[in-house]
Amino acid sequence: MICREMRLSDQDAVIALWKAAGVFREWNDPVRDIAKALEGEHSTVLVGELDGMIVASIMCGEDGHRGWFYYVSTHPDHQGKGLGKAITAAAENWLRERGIWKVNLLVRGGNSQVASFYEAQGYKNTQSICLQKVIEP
Ligand SMILES: CC(C)(COP(=O)(O)OP(=O)(O)OC[C@H]1O[C@@H](n2cnc3c(N)ncnc32)[C@H](O)[C@@H]1OP(=O)(O)O)[C@@H](O)C(=O)NCCC(=O)NCCS
């Protein structure tokens, strides 16, 4: 699998992957999320390409203090083959190249079984609470 930065021409394939993997949420506009992640130098979407198909993705960014991951996904037809591990490692490298040394990510309450995937890559549950507020008008 080749890991590379997403191009706008990948957008439909990436959104289809997010839907297939179950990370799409109808209240998060994926076109807007992708545009925002690609517009600046502090965030991006990495994709994993296998035989010309987008089979893995990760949105990553840094806020000057920590790195963050979102939309971590491998297509269901290709799960369990190390691709999730590879795309996560690629995103860690993307952050490392920017001088970031810690990364955070959120796991939804209903998806706690996926914590084992992250723990296998060295991630630890910090037992923190995530609070959120929508601040746009
Ligand atoms: C989570 C996800 C990205 C993992 O991708 P993947 O390509 O299947 O994972 P890999 O094959 O690279 O697995 C790496 C390791 O994690 C383990 N693992 C993978 N998925 C796991 C899961 N759901 N639960 C527990 N362990 C898991 C694998 O056994 C493997 O262990 P190993 O290195 O000892 O062999 C993928 O299952 C997925 O897209 N899930 C649905 C979307 C999702 O929940 N994303 C996370 C949002 S927070």
What is the average pLDDT across 83-112?
Answer: 96
pLDDT score for 137:
78
Q: pLDDT per residue over 105-132, tens digit each? A: 999 999 989 999 999 999 999 999 999 9
Cα dist. 22→50, 84, 94 in Å? 20, 14, 24
Distance CA 107, CA 23 (A): 11
The pick from 57, 117, 118 for probing ligand 1's pocket by mutation, whose C-beta has the most ligand atoms within 8 angstroms, reads: 117
Contact between 76 and 28 (Cβ < 8 Å): no
Answer yes or no: are the C-beta atoms of 53 and 2 closer than 8 Å. Answer: no
Return the SS3 of 40: coil
Provide, rounded to the nearest whole percent, the portion of the chain with pLDDT above 90. Answer: 97
Specify the 3-state DSSP secondary structure of 41.
Answer: coil
- 51 CA → ligand 1 middle, Å: 21
The number of the ligand 1 atom at minimal distance from the alpha carbon of 83 is 7
1 C-beta closer than 6 A to ligand 1: no
Of 35, 41, 22, 31, the closest CA to residue 99 belongs to 41
Which pLDDT tens digit goes with each residue over 22-43? 999 999 999 999 999 999 999 9
> Rounded to whole angstroms, how far apart are CA atoms 32 and 55?
21
Mean pLDDT of the chain: 97
Rounded to the nearest angstrom, the distance between the alpha carbon of 74 and the centre of ligand 1 is: 8
Ligand 1 geometric centre to CA of 135 (Å): 33
pLDDT at 1 over 90: yes
pLDDT score of 87: 98
Distance CA 17, CA 71 (A): 10
Report the distance separating Cα 39 and Cα 133, nearest Å.
23
Domains of the chain, by residue range, sit at: 2-120
* pLDDT tens per residue, range 41-84: 999 999 999 999 999 999 999 999 999 999 999 999 999 999 99
CB-CB contact of 49 with 5 (8 Å): no
Shortest-distance Cα residue to atom 3 of ligand 1: 73
**CATH superfamily, region 2-120:** Gcn5-related N-acetyltransferase (GNAT) (3.40.630.30)
